[in-house]
């Protein structure tokens, strides 16, 4: 529904109707529409992390650069297939007025950083953590734009993001 009408127009009554549940049932689990969106964001963050790890294992990535490509691919796939993923902008806490989104993005970035550190010796530290925030926020902006038409994504735009993020990460690694 968020994909169809956007967050601003979403109501708990709409959620109940689409789910085939009573409004009372929805309110039992979610006090308001923001809680529904937060739950969707949590689920989407978890699924992205799972898809990244699967993509990383399936790709046989031998370097952090290849692992980053797997992360971009997993994110693009989420935009293509996961209902609500693009619309919730789960990296943008301003959409819901919650800082939970910022915490989720930081946690996701920390998890990616830890995987790259453990598997490929990728450096850690404050600058690296900040870099993951910058890359996550910019990824969602660029990929959302590239996936405006899911049937004909702008793959050139996605490749520009991949090139930009890799160059930035290489600069951070060189400075570490």
DSSP letters spanning 81-136: HSTTHHHH-TT-GGGTT-SHHHHHHHHHHHHHHHHHHHHH----SHHHHHHHHHHH
What CATH code is assigned to 41-175?
A: 1.10.357.10
Report whether pLDDT(70) > 70.
yes
- If you average pLDDT over each of 6-10, 42-46, 136-140, which comes out highest? 136-140
The total of other beta-carbon atoms located within 10 Å of residue 95's CB is 18
What is the per-residue pLDDT for 164?
A: 96
| Residue 10 clears pLDDT 80, i.e. is over it | yes
Q: Is the predicted pLDDT of residue 93 greater than 80, yes or no?
A: no
Residue 37 — φ and ψ, nearest 5°?
-65, -40
Q: Is 90 a residue whose pLDDT tops 60? A: no
Least confident of 17-26, 36-45, 61-70, 98-107: 98-107
If pLDDT is split at 50, 70 and 90, which confidence band does 94 have?
Answer: very low
Domain ranges (residues) in the chain:
41-175
């Amino acid at each position: 529904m968020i994909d169809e009408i956007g967050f601003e127009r979403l109501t708990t009554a709409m959620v109940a109707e689409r789910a085939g549940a009573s409004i009372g049932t929805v309110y039992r689990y979610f006090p308001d529409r923001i809680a529904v969106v937060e739950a969707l964001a949590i689920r989407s963050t978890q699924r992205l992390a799972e898809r990244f790890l699967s993509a990383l294992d399936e790709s046989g990535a031998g370097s952090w650069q290849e692992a980053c490509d797997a992360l971009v691919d997993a994110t693009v796939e989420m935009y293509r297939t996961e209902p609500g993923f693009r619309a919730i902008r789960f990296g943008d806490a301003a959409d819901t007025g919650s800082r939970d989104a910022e915490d989720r993005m930081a946690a996701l970035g920390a998890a990616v950083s830890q995987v790259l550190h453990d598997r490929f010796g990728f450096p850690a530290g404050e600058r690296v953590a900040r870099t993951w925030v910058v890359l996550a926020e910019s990824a969602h902006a660029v990929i959302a734009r590239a996936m405006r038409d899911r049937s004909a994504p702008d793959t050139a735009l996605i490749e520009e993001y991949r090139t930009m993020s890799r160059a930035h990460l290489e600069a951070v690694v060189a400075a570490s």
